[in-house]
Amino acid sequence: MINQIHSDKSLQVLVFVALPLLLLLIAAVFIRMRYRQPSAANFRTFSVSLSVVSREDAYIVYRDKDRRLELYAGSAERKQVLWLMIPKELADGDTHVVAQNLATGLVKLGFQKYKITKQGETEVIAGSP
């Protein structure tokens, strides 16, 4: 009789405590995996990706058929303003194409506010509204 009572309590603990906690853990893992921000935006002619080195250092990597650029992005938090500087060695025509492609990629990566300038200049080439 006593064994029957203990087994009933064990079953109650299992059903009413352990099982809901397990289901909650599974739901949390599923939600976290499903709503994670993307780290790469691939297009037909170019790609933009976020490469996180440490908590305070990250790089935006731009690739197309002619070039590969690594642009320092600081902590790269998606809700703060992101300032990117395109190298001044790039020709003016290429600078505008790269800036527009970067802007398209940053939007797809989830960056809400960004400014793109040429290194050593203050004029914003592309930016969020």
Whether residue 98 contacts residue 52, with contact meaning beta carbons closer than 8 Å, is answered with no
Q: Which of 85, 81, 77 is nearest to 55 (CA)?
A: 77
Q: Report the mean per-residue pLDDT for the chain.
A: 81
Question: Residue 36's pLDDT is what?
Answer: 64
Give the residue carrying structure tokens 């800036």: 99
Report the candidate in 37, 64, 30 with the shortest Cα–Cα distance to residue 48. Answer: 64
Statement to judge: residues 96 and 111 lie in one domain: yes
94 and 46 share one domain: yes
In the block, tokens 């650029």 appear at 69
pLDDT tens sequence across 37-46 = 678 888 899 9
Which pLDDT band, with edges at 50, 70 and 90, does 6 fall under?
low
Q: Output the CA–CA distances (angstroms, integers) from residue 99 to 80, 83, 125, in the order listed.
A: 19, 12, 7
> Whole-model pTM above 0.75?
no
Q: In this structure, are 88 and 75 located in the same domain? A: yes
- Indicate whether 24 and 49 sit together in one domain: no
pLDDT in tens, 44-64: 999 999 888 777 788 889 998
Q: Which domain holds residue 24?
A: 1-36
CA 20 to chain CA mean position, Å: 31
